[in-house]
Copies of this chain bind each other. A is one copy, B any other.
């Protein structure tokens, strides 16, 4: 019968936590996710390895929390999407912005790594949906709901399905590098999705 003694979070060093986050982010952008080791993170952060193993299950978990800490710091009100009343124009704006974001090299490496881990790690996937994807999707669904009330989208449409139709093709094309991500492509996805869900 193992005891599985758990660490006491109240006594945790916030300083070490932040140093580990910072070191993790720096190392990833310097050498790439795959080449980052726990040892290297500890060394750069001036932390003991045990401090990392005590609080995280895996490298992926450390990396995830590192970026989560960043995104929580920089995000407050921007959770509201534009609502001009014209769902087509609003969606095209947002989708074009996503396409632009995906073209940013700084964005590319960590997100690819995160997605690769998520595929094989159900726990991480759940955490990702809850902490990162979830809030963003809620905002998008709020905008879609507004369009639904305005009669621009079928009243019985499943909004999760709308989001999947909108984003999954874009996402897959980017991950698989199976085609170019252009503003025209973004527009086409919006047009097709709106047609599919037209009242």
The interface size of chain A toward B, counting residues with CB under 8 Å, comes to 37
Given contacts A112-B120, A188-B161, A195-B195, contact A125 B169 (CB under 8 A): no
Q: Give the interface SS of chain A, mostly helix, strand, loop or mixed.
A: helix
CB of A118 closer than 8 Å to a CB of B: yes
CB-CB nearest in chain B for A188: B161
Given contacts A195-B195, A196-B195, contact A172 B179 (CB under 8 A): no
CB-CB nearest in chain B for A198: B195
Tell me the minimal C-beta distance from A175 to chain B in angstroms: 5
Q: Are A164 and B160 in contact (CB under 8 A)?
A: no
Residues on B with C-beta less than 8 A from A34 are: 120
Count the copies: 2
**Alpha-carbon distance A178/B117, docked complex (angstroms):** 15
Given contacts A116-B119, A119-B116, contact A165 B169 (CB under 8 A): yes
Given contacts A116-B119, A125-B177, A171-B172, could you give 17 more A-B pairs where the C-beta distance is less than 8 Å?
A34-B120, A116-B117, A119-B119, A119-B175, A122-B177, A125-B176, A128-B176, A158-B188, A161-B169, A164-B169, A165-B165, A165-B192, A168-B168, A168-B173, A172-B172, A195-B195, A195-B198
